[in-house]
Amino acid sequence: MPNDSATIKTVSGPGVPVRGNDIDTDRIIPARFMKEVTFENMGDYAFYDARRHDDGSRNDHPFNRFPTARILVVNQNFGCGSSREHAPQALMRWGIDGLIGESFAEIFMGNCQALGMPTATADAEVVAWLMDHVEAHPDATITLDVEQEIATVSDRTLPVTINDSQREALLNGIWDTTALMKSYLDDVQHTAEQLPYLNGFVKRNA
The Cα–Cα gap between 49 and 38 comes to 20
pTM (2 d.p.): 0.83
Strands (E), the chain: 10-17, 71-74, 98-101, 119-121, 141-145, 150-153, 156-159
pLDDT tens figures, 31-59:
999 888 788 899 999 999 999 999 999 99
Cβ neighbors of 139 (< 8 A, separation 6 or more) are: 14
pLDDT tens figures, 135-168:
999 999 999 999 999 999 999 999 999 999 999 9
pLDDT of residue 83: 85
pLDDT of residue 175: 79
CA separation, residue 157 to residues 25, 126, 132 (Å): 30, 10, 15
CA separation, residue 77 to residues 16, 30, 39, 140, 157 (Å): 17, 18, 24, 25, 24
Q: Topology of 7-174 in CATH?
A: Aconitase; domain 4 (3.20.19)
pLDDT of residue 38: 84
Residues of the chain with CATH 3.20.19.10: 7-174
pLDDT surpassing 60 at residue 200:
no
pLDDT tens figures, 102-141:
999 999 999 999 999 999 999 999 999 999 999 999 999 9
